[in-house]
Structure 1
Amino acid sequence: MSETPEPLLSVEGLEKHFPITKGLIKRQVGAVKAVDGLTFDVRKGETLGLVGESGCGKTTTGRLITRLLEPTGGTVRFEGHDITHMSQGALRPLRRDMQMIFQDPYSSLNPRHTVGAIVGAPFRIQGVKTEQGTKKAVQEILELVGLNPEHYNRYPHEFSGGQRQRIGIARTLALKPKLIIADEPVSALDVSIQAQVVNLLEDLQNELDLTYVVIAHDLSVVRHISDRVAVMYLGKIVEIADRKGLYERPMHPYTTALLSAVPIPDVKARGGRDRIRLQGDVPSPLNPPPACRFHTRCWKAQEVCKTVEPPLVALAPGHQVACHFPENAPAPADAAPEAAVPAAPGAATE
């Protein structure tokens, strides 16, 4: 993984609040805080995994980064340039460098267009000419993602789900982007096909020097493909660390609970592991809990968690956590003993 002094992508205080209106005059009576103050960087050549439960704001974050949605607040910088409120005309050339793989390979491809028209659309929209012609360029890209170049004249309905996702990936690669936002790229596919697509994404990254932000809820997939992992809960990042640090020493209780639910094939390896069953549902982003948003479901929550929002701070090299009572955190030599906290509710040995 290559590193540069300045990150390829830098997000600071990113927000997206969807207004709730009422009446004929559309008076705003509230807002859904889908994304509420995200800050993170992505270095060139790395893969950042963005994980969390459904509804936590992962997909909205991806669409904000690529400016498919207009941010409410915060900044998005790409290669040092502030693109947060850049006009669509100014964004057009940048879209060659920032592309998105969508979740559903069935609805993201126009059924009326051939594969050649779908994959060749970026060339036409951006006015890019190739030496050997668009058809030859498209066929080379199809071959790159594991499809037959002769599929050029076929339609999406003639392909399986995995093949359709490869077509979507081919379209993304057409203009040789630098950053790809992959929104749940394998969640709609069979398990056996998931592995093939994940391996394809890794091979393409190594061959084309790509940078990924992979949005997913499957922690097993994220562990396989990511260099670093950011955990989201109700519009905020609660923990971000390198893959090894997060999976072996999770510090936020929410991360610990998520990892406890990941299936482990080896019976001996999971023998002593406790499954943490969180109580209640995820609160509504329309009216999130005050201070620490996880305190309504956290077994370690105390009064301070209800009144003071924990900042996202580094508790170990490259490991940031937003929690007043983190787990597995290295204690300072002069730190006072941590107050006793109750055990996880509903914990059951797997």
Structure 2
Amino acid sequence: MTSAETEPAAPAKPLGEELLSVSKLTKHFPIRQGLLQRQVGAVQAVDGLDFTVTKGETLSLVGESGCGKTTTGRLLTRLLAPTDGKIIFEGRDISHLSEGKMRPLRKDVQMIFQDPYGSLNPRHTVGKIVGAPFKLQNVKTENGTKKAVQELLELVGLSPEHYNRYPHEFSGGQRQRIGIARTLALRPKLIVADEPVSALDVSIQAQVVNLLEDLQEEFDLTYVMIAHDLSVVRHVSDRVAVMYLGKIVEIADRVSLYEKPMHPYTVALLSAVPIPDTKRKGKRERIRLQGDVPSPINPPPACRFHTRCWKAQDICKTVEPPLLELAPGHQAACHFPENLPAATTAKATTAD
């Protein structure tokens, strides 16, 4: 996928109708100790996220391991209940719906899991795995469930003859295709893809990414993509949100974020992306962050990145920077952003 680095960046899709809106989304996992299991602290996995997703777009969440990306994905699909905040899907607040009321919405919001080995039941055949959504939602198909499952297998590049086989008979890439077929069974509107290619061989990753793009175009799907590989993210995303220690520190369209990142953390992340062109590689400075990522149990005050930031000053330790739009469609939470447009430099300085 590094070839995407050498391709001219395609323009971002025009923004359409809002499908998903997240406001102050928070998830804290309590830490309990002692015989009475009293709460002595909390892991602040997700701490006050605000973003929207429009129909037909791909929004990618990126950041270091442990920053809260996967927890965010599980909150959006309501596999986890939020501690606070709102999740609005198609104008309806689904933040605290009961399991019974969420059940009909499962048809519209689905998830592709990271591990193609652990997400498929080894005791069930492919036909039973992919056909499970029809049974659970009591959906009748025109030509029967078996025919519908075989059509789904063909859709994701597998053979209808695989219907009676078991997961252990397939490669990692084929298992991920089975998982994608199961996700597509009920024609969802929103798919949260949690690192869908990270567990696959590099030679297979491009095939699965291209399959996801083709399916998006064919069925008008909306993706929230969780990923580590920034080359893959650049290839598939319309917008990118950068997370650090439970918070979004920058969000922008793909072109703006990769060409003119504003938050120092984003600058550091992008400096680590491999460049196949040796001439360009020599011109770019590799930024190595000092120290380890702080604990989400006791994150730093104010700007959470200030303990590792080379631009940090006293204000970064005392005043939390809000996520502001510093350029059209480009938001960043930093007192001293990089690549700030000249027209807004004076305004940002005054605000600080």
Amino acid at match of 2:71: T
Aligned to 1:197: 208
The alignment status of 1:261 with 2:261, answered yes or no, reads: no
Which one of 322, 331, 343 corresponds to residue 332 of structure 1?
343
C-alpha separation in 1, matches of 2:326 and 2:58: 22
C-alpha separation in 2, matches of 1:143 and 1:124: 20
DSSP-derived class of the 2:282 partner: coil
DSSP-derived class of the 2:251 partner: strand
The alignment status of 1:66 with 2:77, answered yes or no, reads: yes
The alignment status of 1:216 with 2:227, answered yes or no, reads: yes
C-alpha separation in 2, matches of 1:331 and 1:86: 46
Which one of 17, 24, 37 corresponds to residue 48 of structure 2?
37
Contact 2:120 2:179 in 1 (8 A): yes
DSSP-derived class of the 1:320 partner: strand
Aligned to 1:175: 186
Contact 2:77 2:111 in 1 (8 A): yes
Which one of 243, 251, 255 corresponds to residue 240 of structure 1?
251
Aligned to 2:312: 301
Which one of 151, 158, 177 corresponds to residue 166 of structure 1?
177
Question: C-alpha displacement at 1:4, in angstroms?
Answer: 3.7
Q: Which has the higher helix share?
A: 2
Aligned to 1:283: 294
Paired positions, count: 338
DSSP-derived class of the 2:305 partner: coil
1:246-273, Cα deviation, whole Å (9 max, x unpaired):
0000000000000000000110121210
TM-score, scaled relative to structure 1: 0.95
Residue 156 and residue 140 in structure 1: after superposition, are their counterparts in 2 closer, same or farther (change >3 A)?
Answer: same
Aligned to 2:139: 128
DSSP-derived class of the 1:136 partner: helix
1:141-175, Cα deviation, whole Å (9 max, x unpaired):
00000000110000000000000000000000000
C-alpha separation in 1, matches of 2:90 and 2:284: 43
How high is the sequence identity, in percent, across the aligned residues?
Answer: 80
Question: C-alpha displacement at 1:2, in angstroms?
Answer: 6.3
Gaps of 5+ in 2: 1-12
C-alpha separation in 1, matches of 2:125 and 2:301: 51
Aligned to 1:152: 163
C-alpha separation in 2, matches of 1:2 and 1:150: 41
1:220-251, Cα deviation, whole Å (9 max, x unpaired):
11000000000000000000000000000000
Residue 134 and residue 336 in structure 1: after superposition, are their counterparts in 2 closer, same or farther (change >3 A)?
Answer: closer
Aligned to 1:106: 117
Query: Moved runs in structure 1, 4+ residues, more than 4 A?
Result: 336-339
Question: C-alpha displacement at 1:335, in angstroms?
Answer: 2.0
TM-score, scaled relative to structure 2: 0.94
Gaps of 5+ in 1: 340-350
C-alpha separation in 2, matches of 1:15 and 1:25: 26
Aligned to 2:152: 141
Matches within 5 A, 1:337-348: none
